[in-house]
Amino acid sequence: MDTQKLRQRILDLAIRGKLVPQDPNDEPASVLLDRIRAEKERLIAEGKIKRPKAKKSTDKSHYQNFTPPFDIPDSWEWVNIKEVTSKITDGTHHSPENKPIGDFLYITAKNIKYDGIKIDSATYVNSNVHTEIYSRCNPEYGDILYIKDGATAGVVAINDLNVPFSMLSSVALIKPLGILNRYLYYFLRSDFSNSSIKKSMKGVGITRITLRQIEEWNIPVPPYAEQERIVKILDNYFSILSYLEWNIDTLQESIHNAKSKILDLAMQGKLVPQNPSDEPAADMLRRINPKAKIITDNPHYPQLPDNWVLVPLEDITEYEQPQPYIVQDTFYSDTYTIPVLTAGKSFILGYTNEDFGVYENVPAIIFDDFTTDSKLVEFHFKVKSSAMKIIQVKRGLSIEYVAMFMSTTRLIGETHKRYWISEYSKILIPIPPLEEQNRIVEKVNSIYCELDKIISALSE
């Protein structure tokens, strides 16, 4: 389930007047807007808010030339955002000295999340700095905070802090007047709003939208009673979706843990039954490598089945340095066909058109010599750097089984060094008979396939 797409579909219906039915008894938005204008004039007369600056005669009125992007119900109105707000500003344009401890919170874009303001990593400014910033930008409980700079531009929150704080200019402050703050919040979360905003962002390095651009936004305003109905149902839907996401995340984590547990059971001889007619692992290893250090009992390992043994990885593997297979040109393209690999999470970094120095002796295991990450590779490839070993398993053993063991076995050191020769190759690997290795690989792959189907279904 793609909960994010579902959210956006619900928001799209909401801002077009298609989420809840219209009630002919509702006071039309036009009447609401007249009342808001009167209230704004009163606040201006009392000196509580400032009258918006008049446009220059040479300026074109964005609102006068505005063409509605979609139809709305008859009882709704398209309005410029300045008509339903008392203030639009942003924080300080000069980053002040801020510290982990101080007099007033200092909020930046990193603290703004859809579900509120997160102050875990917030810093603080002193009283003098705060007084100067707050005199122009005074966020109050219930105001809208909107990220207008950088990669997270478009993230919006409702101020849920009951304390005064200072802000950086990367965050815009929007004070709704006469409309529900949560309705405006949901509108600004919509794909319609975000896509329009992203198109207008400009800048070199860090792109941003300006306060002037924000002041030219137009929003569809429903009757106040309908705003309440919309917000109520959106709150309910979003709460349900958040609960589903939490359960999906929990389930995905459980599946990941289940995979690890399955491998643990496999390496202890508890996943598939033993067959007494299988050739014992000790006999098999003596034939493969007469010099192998075969261990039949080790107090540091769980009790293994009788026909299993322990042996150092170096006695059943061979490694090759990657230098002949390092890609020369790091320009990658999806139109090329030869994958360039790393043993880390990214695995396939990209594709190259270099058809020389390609590793073809597959399957093979690539091993990151510094992180001890490993991957089983079953296709021809090149590598990015020399920070890995290419591992082969001696004939007569299952490379898939060895790769499964290595995927569960990592060394985390405090120093940046290479691990394969000095430490990792000395690790003892539990070896079952070859027939059982194959049964384990087949069983693990079968279980993983079913678990992956569940994860895939959750993502649809």
- Dihedral angle over CA of 327, 328, 331, 337, nearest 10: -40
For residues 119 and 81, state if they share a domain: yes
Q: Are 420 and 289 members of one domain?
A: yes
If asked whether residues 100 and 148 sit together in one domain, one would say yes
Q: Are 69 and 190 in contact (CB under 8 A)?
A: no
Could you tell me if 55 and 145 lie in one domain? yes
Of the candidates 228, 243, 258, which is a domain's last residue? 243
51 φ/ψ angles, rounded to the nearest 5 degrees: -70, 135
Do 281 and 319 reside in the same domain of the chain? Answer: yes
Q: Is 57 found in the same domain as 165?
A: yes
The verdict on residue 297 lying in a domain is yes
Residue-by-residue pLDDT tens, the chain, 460 positions: 678 888 999 999 999 999 999 999 999 999 999 999 999 999 999 999 988 776 654 454 445 678 999 999 999 999 999 999 999 999 999 999 999 999 999 999 999 999 999 999 899 999 999 999 999 999 999 999 999 998 899 999 999 999 999 999 999 999 999 999 999 999 999 999 999 888 888 887 788 999 999 999 999 999 999 999 999 999 999 998 888 888 778 888 888 888 899 999 999 999 999 999 999 999 999 999 999 999 987 676 778 898 999 999 999 999 999 999 999 998 999 999 999 998 877 889 999 999 999 999 999 999 999 889 999 999 999 999 999 999 999 999 999 999 999 998 888 766 778 889 989 999 999 999 999 999 999 999 999 998 888 777 766 6
| Torsion angle of the four alpha carbons 59, 65, 71, 72, in this order, in degrees rounded to the nearest 10 | 50
Sequence-ordered list of residues with C-beta below 8 angstroms from that of 403, at least 6 positions apart, any chain: 365, 374, 375, 376
Question: What is the spatial distance between Cα 229 and Cα 168, in angstroms, rounded to a whole number?
Answer: 34
> 43 to each of 35, 50, 79, 177, 217, how far by Cα in Å?
12, 8, 20, 11, 23
Distance CA 197, CA 188 (A): 10
Q: Residue 455 falls within a domain, yes or no?
A: no
Our CA dihedral for 114, 117, 123, 125, rounded to 10 degrees, sits at: 120
Q: Which of 222, 243, 264 is the endpoint of a domain?
A: 243
Q: Which single residue is written with the structure tokens 């058809």?
A: 355
Angle between helices 224-267 and 181-189 (to 10 degrees): 50
Q: At what angle do helices 224-267 and 434-459 cross, to 10 degrees?
A: 180
Q: Would residue 439 count as lying in a domain?
A: no
Residues in the chain: 460
Residue 442 within a domain: no
Residues 206 and 280 in one domain: no
Q: Are 55 and 49 in contact (CB under 8 A)?
A: no
Q: At what angle do helices 191-200 and 3-15 cross, to 10 degrees?
A: 90
Is residue 389 included in any domain, yes or no?
A: yes
Nearest Cα residue to 187 out of 16, 357, 28: 16
User: What pLDDT score was predicted for residue 346?
Assistant: 82
Check whether residue 94 and residue 56 sit in a common domain. Answer: yes
Please give the backbone phi and psi of residue 431, each rounded to the nearest 5 degrees, phi first: -115, 120
Secondary structure (DSSP) of 224-282: HHHHHHHHHHHHHHHHHHHHHHHHHHHHHHHHHHHHHHHHHHHHTT-SS---TTSPPHH
Q: State how many domains the chain has.
A: 2
| Residue 82 main-chain phi, psi, to 5 deg | -65, -25
CATH number at residue 42: 3.90.220.20
Residue 448: strand, helix, or coil: helix
449 inside domain = no
pLDDT at 57 (0 to 100): 46
Specify whether 321 is located in the same domain as 386.
Answer: yes
Check whether residue 203 and residue 345 sit in a common domain: no
Question: In sequence order, what are the beta bridge partners of 351?
Answer: 339
- Distances from the Cα of 444 to the Cαs of 275, 351, 411, in angstroms? 18, 30, 23
Examine residue 383 and state whether it is found in any structural domain, yes or no: yes
Domain residues for the domain of 337 are 273-434
Residue 32 belongs to some domain of the structure: yes
305 shares its domain with 384? yes
Question: Is pTM beyond 0.85 here?
Answer: no
pLDDT computed for residue 413 by the predictor? 65
Q: Are strands 338-341 and 382-383 parallel, antiparallel or unpaired?
A: parallel
CA 365/CA 378 separation, integer angstroms: 9
215 and 339 in a single domain? The answer is no
